[in-house]
Amino acid sequence: MTPEVFFLVLLAAFLHALWNALVKVDGDGMSSMAVIVTIQAAIAILLIAFVPVPGASGWPFLLGAAVLHTGYRLFLVESYRFGDLGRVYPIARGSSPLIVAVLAVAFVGETTDPQSLAAIFIISIGIMSLSLTRGLDRARDGRAVALALATGTFAAVYTIVDGLGARHAGSASAYMIWVSLLDAVAFLPVAQFGRRGALWPSSAKRWTAGAIAGVTGSVAYWLIVWALTIAPMASVSALRATSIGFAVVFGVVFLKEPVTALRSVSAIAIAAGTAMLKFGK
């Protein structure tokens, strides 16, 4: 992975943590997600004239990605509804790179050098260990763990689909813009039905936060899709998952959350794995 790809994926991870933080502090995750998806679709409409129409071989991946993104968002919102999110959600982000590594080898034929594989494993374990920072009791709850793993599986599968789709579409920018439109078409009716029409927030503050999250999310997603076209998918997924590390920093610095011994060890593991990816082959 070249230095520019490495640092831009880290930037994407930072932006991903930022927009997730905006969703987490909102009391209505579904409405926030609807605003984000709408803003991203609006951005896509503004930019669609400047990108080519994706190639024919890219459309099956675009349609599949829209379905997978919708499933991911629904499980993500449901995760945020749980009080033990801080323990369970890291399982979703941490498990995803490991699943991507297996899928990339099995279905894409990618190979990863031993150092990068070790780095992916260390990052994943470091992230998942954050789920234990408040104790083991509720983290063992079967429903919560199943929800987290389902979210991680959606993230892993759509990472593979996005990577292949962007390559087949012939342009990462075209893929990102068209899939943003299809995401809105797929997600918003499902969310509207699930909320029985009471979906859109009336608060200007929520729309402002949603707009910020939508813009940062679009930039982060574009960077990831671009990286997936030129770098190993498992490594990109692992670096993207370091967003959890940024989220921990946000919590400590801005929310004055305590710095526990286990949280410190987790942060060191994430940093060590990231450094291994940077200096790997």
- 4-31 pLDDT, tens per residue? 999 999 999 888 877 766 666 655 667 7
pLDDT digits (tens, 9 = 90+) for 177-228: 999 999 999 999 988 887 766 677 655 667 787 888 889 989 999 999 999 9
Q: What is the 3-state secondary structure (H, E, C) of the chain?
A: CCHHHHHHHHHHHHHHHHHHHHHHCCCCHHHHHHHHHHHHHHHHHHHHHHCCCCCHHHHHHHHHHHHHHHHHHHHHHHHHCCCCHHHHHHHHHHHHHHHHHHHHHHHHCCCCCHHHHHHHHHHHHHHHHHHHCCCCCHHHCHHHHHHHHHHHHHHHHHHHHHHHHHHHHCCHHHHHHHHHHHHHHHHHHHHHHHCCCCCCCCCHHHHHHHHHHHHHHHHHHHHHHHHHCCCCHHHHHHHHHCHHHHHHHHHHHHCCCCCCHHHHHHHHHHHHHHHHHHHCC
Residue 136: how many CB atoms within 10 A of its CB?
9
The pLDDT of residue 112 is 81
The pLDDT of residue 138 is 52
Q: How far apart are CA 70 and CA 154, in angstroms?
A: 9
Report pTM.
0.86
Residue 235: how many CB atoms within 10 A of its CB?
28
Q: Are 51 and 177 in contact (CB under 8 A)?
A: yes
- Residues in Cβ contact with 84 at an 8 Å cutoff, skipping those fewer than 6 apart: 134, 138, 139, 141, 144
Of 251 and 101, which is predicted with more confidence?
A: 101
pLDDT at residue 270 tops 70: yes
The pLDDT of residue 251 is 67
Of 113 and 257, which is predicted with more confidence?
A: 113
- Please, what is the average pLDDT of the chain? 83
Q: Which domain holds residue 269?
A: 3-279
Q: Based on the structure, what is the number of domains in the chain?
A: 1
Q: Which amino acid is at 43?
A: I
pLDDT digits (tens, 9 = 90+) for 225-268: 999 999 999 999 999 888 877 777 766 776 666 767 777 788 78
pLDDT digits (tens, 9 = 90+) for 54-99: 989 999 999 999 999 999 988 877 776 764 556 667 888 888 999 9
The pLDDT of residue 139 is 47
The pLDDT of residue 27 is 59
